[in-house]
Structure 1
Amino acid sequence: MTVHHGAEEHASSPFKQPKAVWAVAFACVISFMGIGLVDPILPALSSKLHASPSQVELLFTSYLVVTAVMMLVTGWVSSRIGAKKTLIAGLMLIVVFAALAGTANSIDGIVYFRAGWGLGNALFIATSLAVIVGSATGGFNGAIILYETALGVGIALGPLLGGELGSISRRGPFFGVAVLMAIALVATVFLLPKTPKPQRRESITEPLKALRHRALATTSGVGLLYNWGFFTVLGYSPFLMQPISPQQLGLVFCAWGVLVAVFAVWGAPWLKARFGTARTLYGNFVLMAADLAVIAIWWDSKPTVIVAVIVAGTFIGVNNTLVTTAVMSIAPVERPVASATYGFVRFIGGGLAPFVASKLVASDGNATVPFLLGAGTVLAAGLLLSTVHGALARADAGASVQPELDELDRVEREDEAEVSAGIGNES
């Protein structure tokens, strides 16, 4: 196991990048727009398609659960056809299924097409993070900041676009993403150089096997728990703000997304430098839980919910950057494998939370229980994180444990030699 020290992390600005990196980052922005795109039109979809809130929340569940499960095969695919072809395949699937979702005449049709959209999203998200980390200048931390900037900008613009296009037609947001993703596809084809196939073909079971490593399993569990709180806010709070127009909902979530971006790019690094990763996240989880508790208590006060939702962007921005950095820094596996494993676990929480919230509200008649549950999962994330405090402190000190390919090859050769020796002894 090789220990890398962090001199490279302070090399240059994360925003001075080659064209290829910007092409992938632009595609990331559009991809992440798809997460919050449907937020402003959730109540309208419920009304126009005569669907219950729990049926509408399946738009998140089908999209994110399929994204999560398919994260397990992204490394297997990209290690055989290369990163560029994997990105292109993911983008093409998103274009096709986003357009098909726009043509659907029922909530079930949109849910199914969102699942296909999630397949493309999985191929794209896991591979894009690996490409940005591998190609960006400014070191590993700079690459993560750039990736989280794309996430924040996409999450901010998605609801704004969804609200504007949704005010014209419920089909508008889906067709809008299809067009923008087509532009991102063209940019990726022409601006991203051909990427060589990895020297080692990844096994399809590697992301699951990686969960045997305590550090990765723990930080992935942290991601699942805080994403439960995150997507309870993102997925169900639009129903608490009614009656307001899609444009107004879009503005609320745009303001939320701006705070996600600002605190992901500037707030998280500043807090990390001042307090360290672990202490920053402990405090952040407590504050985020308190914010969710405010919604739980005053769920029937529209102004309170709007303010609390916007403020939540602060905590989510810090979480996104620092938890992603922590996963990539302390996971004792290759970064593409760590990315796929982490994505698989955390998106399960994001996919299930809105659906569970809608079911709890339907049975209880108010939103107290689902948002208190979200607050509880966020607090649990902080408690779970404390079990890898030492590893986070070592990563902050400038050392990240990552296996080198040549060392992996050496270990495999040693294993083969041991097996051969055992067979020879038996004979």
Structure 2
Amino acid sequence: MTQQKASNIRWFVFGIIFLLGVVNLIDRISLSIAMPTIAQEFDLSPELQGVILSSFFWAYALLQIPGGLLIDKYGPRKMITGSTVLWGIFQAVAALSTGGLSLLLTRFMLGASEAPLFPSGAKLNATWLSPQERGRGAVIMDCGGPLGAALGGIIIAYMIASIGSWRIVFAIAGIATILLGFVSWKFLRDTPHEHQSVNAEELKLIDATHSKDQISLDVSSSSTKIGFDYFSLISILFGRAAWAMMFFGLLTWGPSYLAQARGFDIKGIGNATFIIFLCGTLGSLCGGFISDNLVKKGISQRFALKSVLTISGISTLIAFSLLPSMNDPIVAIATLSVAAFFLMWGSLYWSFPALLAPKDKVGTVGGIMNMAGSIGGIVVPILVGVILGQSQNYDNVLLFFSGCSVIYILGTLSIKLSKQDK
């Protein structure tokens, strides 16, 4: 009798998470793309623009740990569905903004609504994937972000240029997101055992690897409340925050940099943003597959992850350091694309919650890690606005990003993934 082939529903589930990540970032970047237009309409200073761009992350950071606890209690399916519907509502409501304050409030609520998405994805990574597949799971989940930024950059820019109204574009984006929330409820499940399309062979594959994973965890885990040592947690937080300041710096201020420092119009901004973040998407996938292939060849997961992430940090450091000396806008876009490609290898950080934490703490640890990234998201738009308000020079901003890449490297190298790291 021929053995039944294992189904691949786990990858379908992560395809849904990927799609949500794409839409998530389309909605986020819509304000950055529209900001040059909105700033003129509402007469917003650079400092106030920075505060508005930052406001998304205030609630996003504040709700990461509570969101992680709720994910561990109620499961990712409910949290993802509720999150998607709510952020679609507030994306649409932003179209009714009458000034800087009302725009700030809608962004704040958008951040609150989006908070559970990526920690929920980390939880699904732990319950649906084997340790040998988690690198790919992490980057499939996270690469939706740069792809959403790429698509959002060109789609939002061209829609605003064609329709002539950023308000209508925001409303359309919000309604589409609400519909996607119902898709999430229909197709996502908290565990493989709850999904009727998962066959016995796929369940056997997942359960067997999880059993081995749990044995390893019981032997190696420390006695801390999070299931591993606090030094590693602090290292993860600093590394993730530094990475986030670079990524969200590009996301929030990148379009204004292209307009003011490189002279691009709205369509040029959309085209350049598409190229930069598309390269980031390819980089995210590349990093995950390189890491998993190294593990398959017998290299320890510890060494594979740290090697790939360290190369990521060094490459972004070089790119940001070279950008101020580049006068040709096309060369600058190419360099930013290279920076985004290697920066998005940092998607592998989403491997750490599933790799280091017990299964009942993965959502919490993912929330803590994402809170650190969100704090970076809070700080960087305001800080860049202050730097520009004081110096009117984007070279100083690029120098700041170079410093962030150094912290990203040091944080990554300090994470202990086994007792041998002590």
Q: Structure 2 length normalisation: TM-score?
A: 0.78
What is the one-letter code of the residue matched to 2:141? Y
In 1, the alpha carbon distance for the partners of 2:11 and 2:410 equals 40
Residue of structure 1 in register with 2:28 after alignment: 35
User: In 2, distance between residues paired with 1:317 and 1:263?
Assistant: 6
Cα deviations by residue, 1:333-372 (Å, 9 ceiling, x for unpaired) = 7221211010001111122112201111111121222221
Which of 270, 289, 301 is the aligned partner of 2:290? 270
Q: Distance in 1 between matches of 2:419 and 2:290?
A: 16
Amino acid aligned to 2:268: Q
The residue number in structure 2 matching 1:103 is: 96
2: CA distance between counterparts of 1:124 and 1:318?
A: 20
Following the alignment from structure 1 to structure 2, what is the Cα–Cα distance between the partners of residues 270 and 212?
Answer: 27
Aligned to 1:281: 309
Any conservation in 2 of the 1:288–1:312 contact (CA below 8 Å)?
yes
Name which of 378, 381, 385 aligns with 1:354: 381
CA distance in 2, matches of 1:236, 1:27: 23
- Give deviations 1:250-288, integer Å, cap 9, x for gaps: 221111121111111124432675572223322321220
2:155 to 161, 176, 184: 161
2:85 aligns with 92
Residue in 1 that maps onto 2:209: none
SS at match of 1:241: helix
Whether 1:254 and 2:274 are equivalent positions in the alignment is yes
Q: 1:151 aligns with which of 145, 156, 160?
A: 145
Residue 115 of structure 1 deviates from its aligned partner by 0.6
Letter in 2 for 1:339: G
SS of the residue corresponding to residue 237 of structure 2 reads helix
CA distance in 2, matches of 1:44, 1:368: 23
Give the deviation of 1:178 after TM superposition: 0.6
Q: 1:241 aligned to 2:258?
A: yes
Whether the aligned pair in 1 keeps the contact of 2:321 and 2:398 (CA below 8 Å) is yes
Correspondence 1:46 to 2:73: no
2:258–2:264 Cα contact (<8 Å) kept:
yes
Whether contact under 8 Å (2:125, 2:354) holds in the other structure is no
Number of residue pairs the alignment of both structures matches:
371
Do 1:231 and 1:350's aligned partners in 2 also have CA atoms closer than 8 Å?
yes
Structure 2 vs 1, CA of residues 45 and 386 (structure 1 numbering), >3 Å: closer, same or farther?
same
In structure 2, relative to structure 1, the CA distance for the partners of 1:39 and 1:391 (3 Å cut) is same
Kindly state the Cα deviation for residue 12 of structure 1 after the two structures are TM-superposed: 8.9
Q: 1: distance between equivalents of 2:352 and 2:119?
A: 16
Which residue number corresponds to residue 225 of structure 1?
Answer: 242
Deviation at residue 158 of structure 1 after TM alignment: 1.8
Query: C-alpha displacement at 1:121, in angstroms?
Result: 0.3
Residue number in structure 2 paired with 1:182: 178
Cα distance in 1, alignment partners of residues 418 and 149 from structure 2:
27
- Alignment check: 8 A CA contact 2:136 2:292 kept: no
Q: Which runs of 5+ in 2 are unaligned?
A: 195-223, 295-302
Q: Letter of the 2:254 partner, please give it.
A: S
Cα displacement (A) at 1:154: 2.0
Identity %: 14
Deviation track 1:89-112 (CA, whole Å, cap 9, x = no partner) reads 212220211111111121221111
Question: Which amino acid counterpart does residue 228 of structure 1 have in structure 2?
Answer: M
AA aligned to 1:281 is: L
Cα displacement (A) at 1:222: 0.3
Whether the 8 Å CA contact 1:57–1:358 is kept in 2: the answer is yes
- Distance change in 2, residues 1:27/1:179 (3 Å): same
C-alpha deviation, 1:21, in angstroms: 4.5
2:70 paired with 1:77 = yes
Q: CA RMSD in A?
A: 3.1
Tell whether the 8 Å contact from 1:216 to 1:332 is kept in structure 2 after alignment.
no
Q: What one-letter code is carried by the residue in structure 2 that aligns with 1:154?
A: G
Residue aligning to 2:356: 330
Residue 123 of structure 2: which of 123, 126, 130 is its match?
130
CA contact (8 A) 1:64 1:351 kept: yes
Q: Cα gap change, 1:79/1:172 in structure 2, threshold over 3 Å: closer, same or farther?
A: same
Amino acid of the structure 2 residue aligned with 1:235: T
1:220–1:342: 8 Å Cα contact kept in structure 2? yes
Match of 2:231 in 1: 214
Partner of 2:218: none
Q: Distance in 2 between matches of 1:276 and 1:308?
A: 26
1:374 to 379, 388, 401: 401
User: Partners of 2:402 and 2:143 in 1: how far apart?
Assistant: 25
- Asked whether the 8 Å contact 1:241–1:305 carries over to 2, the reply is no
The 10-residue stretch of structure 1 (285-294 or 166-175) with the greater mean CA deviation from structure 2: 166-175
Q: What's the CA shift for 1:212?
A: 6.7
